[in-house]
């Protein structure tokens, strides 16, 4: 058997690939791209939610939101560590993000305009993320799969707290309910876009499925998400902004309208409402902190010199 | 000060500092520091909530933690001026935290042993473990910044000089005056290890415990309270 055949045989036997195992260059680079993109998304995702920490309407909500955003920073850390097992450094990946050469989830290129957006992000965005990530706990690359097990546990807590915010708003005053509906109207379609292009237009799907990096296709995941979410919206008494949405008894699934793919590609290419702001905020924080990192390095060097 | 007054003063210190630390999120120099600042902020928020809740119980007027945090005006907040000072650069945040941590360590030790109110005693016993971690973090950074580069040394010295005027206030109350000497010993030790100079500015500013604040608190509260106040009676 060639190394390539041995590798594929391991995957076909549902064995995990570990950092020291031989792997094709394409497998390594696909994983680096995907794990880094995922890590960047966790870190950039701190911004839209962080936007409401200082304005959370109660101390209970403030504490939960701070803890949630802190979890996201933690997810960013383990994902960068998972990527490092493939032979890249966190600062290199971060530099690629800062230069605009790496992407992060487009969903974070939309602004959070009301408190209900915090509920909606938990409910829909974390809900969509979990739909994707549960599949990734079975990914063929061991360190990524294991990181995802832990992340999924925390994400499901995030999703529940988001839904709980929505329940409170929907059983609250008419203004609160209107806030919830407005947030759903703005976040519904971007959430469906989180699953990526149609399977027929997805450039990475086929190879990733063969390598078991990805195990369920974009369109199947999107359908799962819609099927799970529609009853939740009904329970809240909110209307999903899609006139074509209806139950299809023959398929046993909800039919739904077509995503605005022009908008999808526009945001991916950097022209969404918040792309510039998110990246500028990230780069700015990094540059402003340079003197702190330099100080820590200088102090460590002095200490080491004194100890020698 | 009445017990309710004391509880509210300590709660306000922790509330206002938690709010300031919350402003750092997504802006820290490293992901690990972002996590640490959020963590410290969450600890302070937890202490504030426990103390507000106890104050509400003792007051017996049906108020909640949120009524204290969201519905009182600037003049009713009795936090120390130190904690309401803006984050500034990372050096300012660290110096503010360090000066306050060194004080809270002594405060919680005292209250965990001697508070008459059992709830306050319990809060202090838990808070002391957190305060030890906060103090380790802030004094570690005092030393790294002081004994780091020329720039970090300059920045942390400037922050120390600038915030020094808010330190006497921590000890002006009869119940905390006794911490002063030990607090100063601890501060001098870290300042020396950081190769910094102790400030010599004799000017001190006070008033926080009487609700006489710097201009920064009003803006902090405006942001913190706006949403809760725009929907009177709503629950979240």
Domain count for chain B: 1
Give the span between the Cα atoms of A146 and A143, in whole angstroms. Answer: 5
Measure B222 CA to nearest chain A CA, in Å.
Answer: 9
Q: Label residue B43 by pLDDT band (50, 70, 90).
A: very high
Q: How far apart are CA A12 and CA A16, in angstroms?
A: 10
Whether the predicted pLDDT of A205 surpasses 80: no
Cβ neighbours, 10 Å, residue A135: 19
Q: Domain for residue B235, yes or no?
A: no
Domain contains B29: yes
Average pLDDT on B223-229 reads 98
Of all residues in chain A, what percent carry a pLDDT higher than 90?
A: 93
| Cα of B55 to nearest chain A Cα, Å | 15
Dmax over CA atoms of chain B, in Å, equals 55
CA A232/CA A252 separation, integer angstroms? 17
pLDDT surpasses 90 at A18: yes
Q: Which residues from B are below 8 Å from A57, CB to CB?
A: 70, 227-228, 231, 234, 236
**Domain presence at residue B179:** yes
Q: Where are the beta strands (DSSP E) in B47-196?
A: none
CB A52 within 8 A of CB A65: yes
Measured at the CA of B22, the angle between CA B101 and CA B227, to 5 degrees, comes to 130
Going from the C-alpha of B99 to that of each of B47, B82, B126, B128, B226, the distances in angstroms are 18, 9, 20, 15, 30
Contact A45, A72 (CB under 8 A): yes
Residue B21, in any domain of the structure: yes
**B38–A62 CB contact, under 8 Å:** no
* Cβ contacts of A53 on chain B, cutoff 8 Å: 22-23, 25
Residue linked to tokens 């945040």: B93
| Long-range contact pairs involving B30-37 (C-beta distance under 8 Å, separation at least 24) | B30/A289, B30/A292, B30/A293, B31/A43, B31/A73, B31/A76, B31/A77, B31/A80, B32/A77, B33/A289, B33/A292, B33/B90, B34/A46, B34/A70, B34/A73, B35/A70, B35/A73, B35/A74, B35/A77, B36/B137, B37/B93
Q: What is residue A204's predicted lDDT score, i.e. its pLDDT?
A: 73
Task: Check which CATH number belongs to the domain holding B126 and give it.
Answer: 1.20.1260.10
| CB-based burial label for B181 (10 Å; 0-12, 13-18, 19+) | exposed
Residue numbers in A near B149 (CB within 8 A): 291, 294-295, 298
Query: Does residue B54 belong to any structural domain of this protein?
Result: yes
Residues whose CB is less than 8 angstroms from the CB of residue A85 and which lie 6 or more positions away in sequence, other chains included:
A19, A143
* Domain presence at residue B118: yes
Is B137 a domain residue? yes
Residue B189 has pLDDT above 90, yes or no: yes
Nearest Cα of chain A lies from the Cα of B6 at a distance, in angstroms, of 20
The chain B residue lying nearest A39, using CA atoms, is B31
Rg (CA), chain A: 21
Residue A3 has pLDDT above 90, yes or no: yes
Q: What is the pLDDT of residue A203?
A: 75
pLDDT over 90 at B46, yes or no? yes
- pLDDT tens digits for range A229-249: 999 999 999 999 999 999 999
Question: In chain A, what residues touch B130 (CB-CB under 8 Å)?
Answer: none
Q: Is A245 left (phi over 0), alpha (psi -120 to 50) or beta?
A: beta
Q: What average pLDDT does this structure show over A165-193?
A: 98
Nearest residue of chain A to residue B49 (CA atoms)? A59
Least confident of A5-14, A181-190, B45-54: A5-14
Subunit contact B27:A176, Cβ cutoff 8 A: no
A77·B32 Cβ contact <8 A: yes
pLDDT tens by residue, A59-79: 999 999 999 999 999 999 999
Q: What is the mean pLDDT of chain B?
A: 97
Residues 6+ apart with CB under 8 A from A217: A199, A202, A205, A209
pLDDT at A103: 96
Q: Is residue B236 part of a domain?
A: no
What SS3 class is residue A253? strand
Strand residues in A231-273 grouped as ranges (E): 246-248, 253-255
CB-based contact (8 Å) between B14 and chain A?
no
pLDDT in tens, A108-159: 999 999 999 999 999 999 999 999 999 999 999 999 999 999 999 899 999 9
CB B98 within 8 A of CB B135: yes
Domain membership of residue B42 as a residue range: 3-197+204-230
Determine the Cα–Cα distance for residues B195 and B189; give it in Å rounded to an integer.
Answer: 10
- Answer whether A208's CB lies under 8 Å from A196's CB: no
């Amino acid at each position: 058997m060639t190394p390539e055949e041995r590798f594929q045989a391991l995957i076909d036997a549902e064995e995990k690939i570990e950092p020291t195992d031989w792997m094709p260059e394409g497998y390594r680079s696909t994983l680096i791209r995907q794990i880094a993109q995922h890590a960047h998304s966790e870190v950039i995702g701190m911004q839209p939610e962080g936007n409401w920490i200082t304005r959370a309407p109660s101390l209970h909500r403030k504490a939960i939101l701070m803890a949630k955003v802190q979890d996201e920073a933690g997810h960013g850390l383990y994902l960068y560590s998972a990527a490092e097992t493939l032979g890249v450094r966190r600062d290199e990946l971060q530099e690629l993000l800062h230069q605009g050469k790496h992407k992060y989830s487009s969903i974070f290129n939309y602004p959070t305009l009301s408190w209900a957006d915090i509920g909606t992000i938990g409910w829909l965005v974390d809900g969509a993320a979990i739909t994707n990530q549960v599949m990734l706990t079975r990914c063929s690359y061991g360190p990524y799969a294991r990181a995802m097990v832990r992340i999924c546990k925390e994400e499901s807590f995030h999703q529940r707290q988001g839904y709980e915010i929505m329940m409170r708003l929907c059983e609250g005053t008419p203004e609160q309910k209107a806030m919830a509906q407005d947030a759903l109207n703005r976040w519904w379609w971007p959430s469906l876009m989180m699953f990526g292009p149609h399977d027929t237009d997805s450039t990475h799907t086929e190879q990733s499925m063969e390598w078991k990096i990805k195990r369920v296709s974009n369109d199947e995941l999107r359908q799962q998400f819609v099927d799970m979410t529609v009853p939740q919206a009904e329970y809240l008494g909110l209307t999903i902004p899609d006139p074509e949405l209806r139950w299809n008894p023959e398929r046993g699934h909800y039919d739904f309208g077509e995503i605005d793919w022009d908008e999808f590609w526009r945001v991916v290419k950097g022209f969404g409402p918040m792309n510039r702001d998110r990246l500028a905020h990230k780069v700015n924080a990094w540059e402003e902190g340079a003197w702190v990192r330099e100080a820590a390095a200088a102090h460590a060097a002095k200490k080491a010199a004194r100890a020698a | 000060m009445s017990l309710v007054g004391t509880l509210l003063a300590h709660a306000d210190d922790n509330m206002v500092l938690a709010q300031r630390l919350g402003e750092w999120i997504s802006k820290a120099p490293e992901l690990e520091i972002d996590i640490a600042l959020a963590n410290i902020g969450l600890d302070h928020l937890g202490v504030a909530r426990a103390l507000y809740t106890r104050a509400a119980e003792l007051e017996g007027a049906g108020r909640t933690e949120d009524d204290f945090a969201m519905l009182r005006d600037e003049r009713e907040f009795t936090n120390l001026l130190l904690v309401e000072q803006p984050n500034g650069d990372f050096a300012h945040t660290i110096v503010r935290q360090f000066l306050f941590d060194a004080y809270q360590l002594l405060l919680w030790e005292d209250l965990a042993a001697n508070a008459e109110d059992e709830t306050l005693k319990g809060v202090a016993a838990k808070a002391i473990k957190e305060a030890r971690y906060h103090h380790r973090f802030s004094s570690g950074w005092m030393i790294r910044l002081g004994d780091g580069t020329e720039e970090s040394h300059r920045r942390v010295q400037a922050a120390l000089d600038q915030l020094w005027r808010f330190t006497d206030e921590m000890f002006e109350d009869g119940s905390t005056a006794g911490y002063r000497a030990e607090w100063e010993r601890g501060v001098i030790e870290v300042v020396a290890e950081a190769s910094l100079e102790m400030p010599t500015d004799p000017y001190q500013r006070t008033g926080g415990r009487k609700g006489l604040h710097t201009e920064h608190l009003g803006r902090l509260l405006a942001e913190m309270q706006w949403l809760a106040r725009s929907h009177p009676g709503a629950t979240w």
